[in-house]
Amino acid sequence: MNCIVKRFEELTLDELYQILQQRSAVFVVEQNCPYQDVDGLDQNSVHLWLEEDGKMLAYLRWFPDPEGSGRLHIGRMLSAEHGKGWGGIALHEALRRIDEETPAEIEIEAQVYARGFYEREGFAGCSEEFDLDGIPHLRMIRPVKGE
């Protein structure tokens, strides 16, 4: 299994296509949630995915808070198959890289069912539940590592 990390401008057209295809397959088709995936944030994001034999196993992106808070946001977290542990590996690797390269507080909008998954990596809920595209979410924060 390979872990690939690239900024938007480093992505090949085939990689970008595969990312958008996988995000659509999970968030739009599997979760039956029509929403605007191409949101203008990819260009300022770091994209991380796990790949084996040309197949994307898990994916996420992180980007600076558009509001300028200094926080980083992790989003579009997905696993191609549930129960394999790939999402956890991808998240752990992203957090390791963030801690080493750009230590910052990290915010996510987590689907409520995945709360425990994120708590295991040091995130804590910081909002009430809210509806996002028909799916219950909550905001979670992970402090800067070591604080």
User: Is 22 inside any structural domain?
Assistant: yes
Query: What pLDDT sits at residue 146?
Result: 64
Query: Tens digit of pLDDT for each residue in 46-82?
Result: 999 999 999 999 999 999 998 888 999 999 999 998 8
pTM over 0.95: no
- Per the structure, how many domains does the chain have? 1
Q: What SS3 state is found at 12? A: coil
Domain that holds residue 19: 2-105
Check which CATH number belongs to the domain holding 99 and give it.
Answer: 3.40.630.30
CB 97 within 8 A of CB 74: no
Query: What pLDDT sits at residue 33?
Result: 77
Confidence check: pLDDT of 26 > 90: no
User: What span, in angstroms and rounded, lies between the C-alpha atoms of 87 and 77?
Assistant: 7
